[in-house]
Amino acid sequence: MAAPTGVLTPALREGIRQHTDVLALSLEVWEERAAILEYDGGLKREEAETLAWQCLREERVTHG
């Protein structure tokens, strides 16, 4: 669905693009950590995903 013409300024478009990039990177990091915890840590996938999410949340709180 597209926004009406003129609603999205260049600055808003750039902000959306940057936000999307950050979300994609966060998802990639989460998936990688979950895979490491699953395969190297011997955890079930659900446990690995939960722990990976907790680690990312803690890093966000710690680093802002």
As a residue count, the chain comes to 64
The answer to whether residue 8 is domain-embedded is no
Give the range of the structural domain holding residue 26, as residue numbers without chain letter: 20-63
Phi/psi of residue 44, nearest 5 degrees: -70, 155
Residue among 49, 25, 28, 26 at smallest CA distance from 38: 49
Report the C-alpha gap between 49 and 53 in whole angstroms. Answer: 6
The answer to whether residue 4 is domain-embedded is no
The answer to whether residue 15 is domain-embedded is no
Alpha-helical segments (H) within the chain: 10-39, 45-63
The answer to whether residue 10 is domain-embedded is no
Whether this model's pTM surpasses 0.75: no
The tens digit of pLDDT for each residue in 7-38 reads 888 898 898 888 898 888 889 999 999 999 99
Domain count of the fold of the chain: 1
The answer to whether residue 48 is domain-embedded is yes
The answer to whether residue 3 is domain-embedded is no
Higher pLDDT, 48 or 57: 48
pLDDT of residue 64: 60
The answer to whether residue 49 is domain-embedded is yes
Report the C-alpha gap between 33 and 57 in whole angstroms. Answer: 13
